[in-house]
Structure 1
Amino acid sequence: MSPGDEQGYGDPVRADDGGYGYGGSGHTRTRLPETDPYGGARRPGRSSSRSLVTVVAVVVLLIAAIAFANRGGGDSDSASGGTANRPKSAATAASGTKPVETKTGGIPSGFAHTEQGAQSAAANYAVALGSTGMFKKDSRHTLVNALYTAEQSAQLQAAMDNAYSADFLGRMGLDANGNPPTGSTFVSRVVPIGTTVQEYGTTGAKVAVWYMGLIGMSGNQSTNPVTSTWKTWTFDLTWTGGDWKIASDTQKDGPAPVPGDDRAAASDEISKAIEEYGGFTYAR
């Protein structure tokens, strides 16, 4: 059975279906030859005066390049009334601003009441809702209560419990409590690639998160190996209680890049990587 064969395995489990979720050293040292690799002794060095001229020329060119790159930072701004001619940052360019200073139940919280804050919230909410915590009842309830509006949370809990049924979990290779078999590692991760604000207002925002997901069971006896999936998760966010909360959300496939030629890792490599590499708190 491939991951795409089951609902919720790489596809969103919607409320009308009973729930949510995106499925849910080497160092190389190069030894330089002691002699000319093309044969013979090394050529004698050039005169010191010629070397000095070369160095001076390089410095002059460097200074000229820096001056050219910075040209227009003064008079041109004044003439145009400020920053009109400066290039705008990309949609998901790093701003250097921390997304949050606090966490609630291990989930980032307290996002800024700005477009950047909405993007950071959406990215981190996608990570939380795409985690293995969604496959266990108690942690799922905690996540839903923390990330959705109170009204949405109350409506979703029962539907999600029905969606993450024992039968569904069994098809994922998990027991009725969402636990993997002994010796196996269940993988469910969302890795945001970028975010974009589609709509923004003081009371709400619509933010899309393009992400890569990892989902499957890593283990010698697994019939559902860990695979990757590419999707876009769009959140309708509401500003309430001093933070962004999810009022509704939808998902669609892609855009997916052309698969590379990377060698598929063995199950024990995947399990080790999942244990050793933690996640991030995502900012715009």
Structure 2
Amino acid sequence: MSSDDQYGGSGAGHGEIGGTGQTRTRLPESSSDPHGSPRRTPRASRGLIAVVGVVVLLIAAIAFANQSHTPQDPPPASDKPQATNPTAATGVPPVDTKSAGIPKGFARSEQGAQSAAANYSVALVSADILKPGVRSQIVRQVFVTDKVAELETRLDRAYGKAFLDQAGLDANGNAARGLTYISRTVPVGTKTVSYSETTATVEVWCTGVFGTAGIGSNNPVSNDWFTMTLTLRWADNDWKVESFAQKDGPAPVNADRLISTAEEISKAAAEFGGFTYAR
């Protein structure tokens, strides 16, 4: 997203100090009285000294102003290529640990609850949730302990053979050879419905891409818009899911875009990594 902000400043005109003033010094005249004391050379006028002092201070002030408004030179360019870093969460405090590939250790705050809800939405609507072996790890990481057994049963039933067959996947949740199953969720925003130090309900507005890419796929990849509602509980020094629900929308008008080929979608899914989210 490009920024439309433009930075500019009004250039301050600097007046030139010119015109060299000449000060005539009147030499002492010789006394006409040969016996008189010689006249002393008069001292410089105090008014002249004051004027010179003011001019010096003015010049110093202009020089200081010029220096303070002069942009510093940019650091010299390096010939070494800039190192790339993986996208990291930016919560307070930052979430920098994972379990089963899912961030953990969220802050006990409203921001931490929103961050947890966004990350858990990504995990719960991912391709890995369809793989029985990985699904068990996700459930144990995301849900409170007393809900794990119930949720494992519900998800095993929801993602049983009938669902896998419809999606063109085998019993282990894998696509046929030459095909790529894609299920990637992207949170667009979060909203706190209720919050306390022990419980929170957060809505996560999501979009995503879902389907099987490849020649001969009966389940082409398409996009979707939906909202996840997660009820969280503070347990084991982290936010965990107690229950969740999903509903359609809000969905914007589809843009008039040329549909990519199955090969392009498969390549994009393989080359572009997913994100972790924090707020």
Tell me whether the two structures share a fold, i.e. TM-score over 0.5. yes
Which whole-Å CA distance do the structure 2 matches of 1:202 and 1:96 have between them? 17
Which whole-Å CA distance do the structure 2 matches of 1:283 and 1:251 have between them? 21
Letter paired with 1:107: I
Query: The residue matched to 1:222 in structure 2 has which SS?
Result: coil
Distance change >3 Å, CA 250–CA 183, structure 1 → 2: same
TM-score by length of 1: 0.66
Number of residues of Structure 1 aligned to a counterpart in Structure 2: 196
- Residue of structure 1 in register with 2:109 after alignment: 114
Letter paired with 2:201: K
Question: Which of 173, 176, 193 matches 2:171?
Answer: 176
- Please report how far the alpha carbon of residue 105 of structure 1 lies from its aligned counterpart in structure 2 after TM superposition: 2.1
Unmatched 5+ stretches in structure 1: 1-55, 61-93
- Residue of structure 2 in register with 1:253 after alignment: 248
Identity of aligned residues (%): 49
1:202 aligns with 2:197: yes
Q: Is contact 2:92-2:107 (8 Å) kept?
A: no
Deviations 1:31-51 (A, max 9, x none): xxxxxxxxxxxxxxxxxxxxx
Letter paired with 2:142: L
Spell out the pairing of 1:41-190 with structure 2 (5 A cutoff): 58-59=10-11, 97=92, 99-190=94-185
Q: Is contact 1:98-1:283 (8 Å) kept?
A: no
Query: The residue matched to 2:176 in structure 1 has which SS?
Result: coil
Which whole-Å CA distance do the structure 1 matches of 2:155 and 2:232 have between them? 20
- Please report how far the alpha carbon of residue 95 of structure 1 lies from its aligned counterpart in structure 2 after TM superposition: 7.3
- Please report how far the alpha carbon of residue 57 of structure 1 lies from its aligned counterpart in structure 2 after TM superposition: 8.3
Which whole-Å CA distance do the structure 1 matches of 2:160 and 2:181 have between them? 17
- Please report how far the alpha carbon of residue 96 of structure 1 lies from its aligned counterpart in structure 2 after TM superposition: 6.9
Letter paired with 1:155: E
- Residue of structure 1 in register with 2:210 after alignment: 215
Which whole-Å CA distance do the structure 2 matches of 1:133 and 1:95 have between them? 25
1:234 aligns with 2:186: no
Deviations 1:151-178 (A, max 9, x none): 1111111222122112210110101211
Which whole-Å CA distance do the structure 2 matches of 1:103 and 1:127 have between them? 14
Q: Which has the larger radius of gyration?
A: 2
- Residue of structure 2 in register with 1:69 after alignment: none
Deviations 1:243-284 (A, max 9, x none): 000011111111001100111110000000000001111011
- Residue of structure 1 in register with 2:62 after alignment: none
TM-score by length of 2: 0.67
Distance change >3 Å, CA 120–CA 167, structure 1 → 2: same
Q: Is contact 1:99-1:117 (8 Å) kept?
A: no
